[in-house]
Structure 1
Amino acid sequence: MSGVPDVSVVVAVYNTMPYLTRCLSSLTAQTIGEQRMEVVVVDDGSTDGGEGEIERFSALHPGLFTTLRQPNSGGPAAPSNRGLELATGRYVFFLGADDHLAPEALERMVEMADECGSDVLLCKMAAVGRRTVPTGVFTRTSPAIRLVGDGLPWALSNTKLFRRALLEEHKIRYNESMPAFSDQPFVMEACFRAERISVLADQDHYFAVRRADSSNITFRAGPELRLRCAERIFETTCRFLEPGPLRDGFHRRHFHVELFQLFGADFPALDREAQNRVCAGVARLVDAHGAGVLERIDERRRRTLNLAWRGDVDTLCAEITADPERTPRTADGRFALVRWLLAPVPSGRPPRKKIGQDAV
């Protein structure tokens, strides 16, 4: 490859076989072409044969892949930072190692970012298995969206196109002390510093996969670890946003998602001291940030957080146990995922729409 690539795709890998094959195949099928892109793959100490698969793709596509293998760090932050340090493209895109892209995704994103002068660009996501993805922010293609009011606080994963100069100018990096949710402070800082945030929503470009075994760090992390990471998320919002509607817009999302999810099916299994620590931590966050926000979330979530704030662990555990929506799902779409994994990777170009033309 000669010159500066338009886009560097960073893939942090840890034990994602066989999903990794689909992920890397979707990158080699990109219509932007190998001369305009680079793929930086950082293997965070995989033990499932992923290292060999990375080597196989590198050999089949010389010059496209930059690879690094390191001891396991315990989370995606460190390999994502190493990948960002190796990236040389004008833009950087972070792709989950168990996810994949539509063939035209990178070409369309770079085209729109160049046309609109975007610092951050979101592309429409689709869910595979029982994975959930944001929808409100993808109702239409837009050259510029607001921090609050267009759905951005509900779409804080790092699966976005970032202007690399923005990340380097402000030294924006992942917090390596966060085993989970480290992408959210990263994304929030980039968006808070961006002059323009755009959305490409004309068709599905990013396919987000919930693994059949739900084995990634976000699903494996226990409530106490997730609480510590959630505290870092609130700290980031307060660092960049003054008290008021913008900050409240993000805090509402944090209460709705991060704090409520602390009280899933695994919470009753904790020992009482751990349960009390989680409730005390949530109570501190409610006291600090809940005024004007807590009453704006739905009644079910508000009741759960109020029980935690009061320290009523017995009632809280009883309600969690009786709530079918918080019962662990073991099958998790396994058979649908097997069929998906065996399907061929598309190579043709889907019908194109002009930038700014909304999906019907």
Structure 2
Amino acid sequence: MTTGPGPRPDRPDVSVVVPVHNTMPYLTRCLSSLVEQTLGRRRTQVIVVDDGSTDGSTEEIERFAAQHPGLFTTVRQPNSGGPAAPCNRGLGLAAGRYVFFLGADDHLAPVALERMVTMADNCRSDVLLCKMVPIGERTVPTGVFSRTAPVIRLVGDGLPWALSNTKLFRRSLIEEHGIRYDESMPAFSDQPFVLEACVRAARISVLADEPYYFAVRRTDSSNITFRAGPATRLSCTERLFEATCRFLAPGPLRDAFHKRHFHVELFQLFGADFAALPPQEREAVCTGAARLIGAYGDGVLERIDPRRRRTLELAWRGDVAALCAEIAADPARTPRPPTVGRFPAVRRLMAAMLD
């Protein structure tokens, strides 16, 4: 079901796509920040895609749409299991010159959209990053936001560490190349989308003079990336490596993005929750990680920091006992909430790995 203001008398500057699944009470602050944007309602289209929420998010979306007619286009659909499908649905409804993706847990500074659109127009940007800051225990990239820059490189200015979709994209670039989210990826689906957009962009810019995007980690860590189980994360990490090989030729550019995936997604498979897995599942995760290390680690593994390299080398050797001891001795590894029993997709993935 889709509701909205109907045809607009003029073309909005930016369409903001907000995928939502059970994000109360954070959703209220998110939507309020869009109402407060200095860009103005005639220049803004907000598309809120409710992906089968059951926690009151649906009613909150309806309340905002009723209070602010003409600003919100709302869609409700059955739960798809991840953010890719609602993002694609929002893209299909977008009418703006630019499109921006906002996490339903997160919120924007009031001037964010206006400043981003102004800079993108002035710099002829195809992709524009705005400075992010963390709320709670969320982590965000820092290097890429060290300065405002009209143009940055694919590698050398921190972009490989900033692959979330929380960016302003020129919509004509997205449509010209048919760039869409992979709906078979329940986690990390934004990264191949962003990678392709950045590879195809003529100019990538950064707006970093002040914080514009406030990234929130929920107190219960129920954001989709945090709640995904190890089988899901392993499967989707493999898809990330496949994407870099699809869009980048062998060489330093591809290696820089592979380094990121070793440093972040692959290493995070071996957090405190790894030692708590049943023995068969630990073996399956090690086997899967070893396959990726063998396929993509040449020339990359030795370039990551010693702590992470030691963990991945143990996984590559399949030394589960030493790996568990390594994790237990590292106070920096934070437990994740238990997930395997709660999410059917995770159970199916884990079962496939163990076959």
- Provide the TM-score with structure 2 as the length reference: 0.91
Match of 1:349 in 2: none
In the alignment, structure 1 residue 109 sits paired with structure 2 residue 116: yes
Match of 1:327 in 2: 334
Per-residue Cα deviation, 1:157-215 (whole angstroms, up to 9, x for no partner): 00000011111111111111111110011100110111110000010000000100100
In the alignment, structure 1 residue 60 sits paired with structure 2 residue 67: yes
Q: CA deviation at 1:273?
A: 2.1
Match of 1:188 in 2: 195
In the alignment, structure 1 residue 12 sits paired with structure 2 residue 19: yes
In the alignment, structure 1 residue 277 sits paired with structure 2 residue 284: yes
Match of 2:79 among 72, 78, 85: 72
Per-residue Cα deviation, 1:114-147 (whole angstroms, up to 9, x for no partner): 1111110000001100100100000111111000
Runs of 4+ residues over 6 Å off in structure 1:
none
Give me the whole-angstrom Cα distance separating, in 2, the residues matched to 1:10 and 1:265: 34
SS at match of 2:133: strand
Match of 1:355 in 2: none
> Which letter does structure 2 place at the counterpart of 1:149?
G
Contact 1:10-1:80 within 8 A present in 2 as well: yes
Match of 1:168 in 2: 175
Q: CA deviation at 1:326?
A: 1.2
Give me the whole-angstrom Cα distance separating, in 1, the residues matched to 2:247 and 2:84: 21
Contact 2:17-2:48 within 8 A present in 1 as well: yes
Per-residue Cα deviation, 1:292-342 (whole angstroms, up to 9, x for no partner): 111111111000000000000111112212321113288xxxxxxxxxxxx
1:242-253 to 2 correspondences below 5 Å: 242-253=249-260
SS at match of 1:121: strand
Match of 1:356 in 2: none
In the alignment, structure 1 residue 35 sits paired with structure 2 residue 42: yes
Match of 1:357 in 2: none
Contact 2:16-2:44 within 8 A present in 1 as well: yes
1:162-311 to 2 correspondences below 5 Å: 162-311=169-318
Residues 72 and 329 of structure 1: CA distance in aligned 2, closer, same or farther (over 3 Å): closer
SS at match of 1:173: coil
Task: Specify which structure has the bigger relative contact order, considering alpha-carbon pairs within 8 angstroms and separated by 6 or more residues.
Answer: 1
Contact 1:26-1:100 within 8 A present in 2 as well: yes
Contact 2:87-2:181 within 8 A present in 1 as well: yes
Q: CA deviation at 1:284?
A: 1.6
Match of 1:139 among 121, 133, 146: 146
Contact 1:265-1:327 within 8 A present in 2 as well: yes
Structure 1 residues without counterparts, runs of 5 or longer: 331-360
Give me the whole-angstrom Cα distance separating, in 1, the residues matched to 2:200 and 2:269: 29
Contact 2:126-2:169 within 8 A present in 1 as well: yes
Could you tell me the percent identity over the aligned residues? Answer: 77
Give me the whole-angstrom Cα distance separating, in 1, the residues matched to 2:164 and 2:74: 23
Farther off after superposition, 136-145 or 312-321: 312-321
In the alignment, structure 1 residue 318 sits paired with structure 2 residue 325: yes
SS at match of 2:73: strand
**RMSD of equivalent CA atoms:** 1.0
Give me the whole-angstrom Cα distance separating, in 1, the residues matched to 2:56 and 2:230: 30
Q: CA deviation at 1:287?
A: 1.4
Per-residue Cα deviation, 1:244-302 (whole angstroms, up to 9, x for no partner): 11011111111000000011111112222222221112112111211111111111100
**Number of aligned residues:** 330
> Which letter does structure 2 place at the counterpart of 1:142?
A
Contact 1:321-1:327 within 8 A present in 2 as well: no
Match of 1:346 in 2: none
Q: CA deviation at 1:37?
A: 0.5
Farther off after superposition, 320-329 or 303-312: 320-329
Contact 2:272-2:336 within 8 A present in 1 as well: no
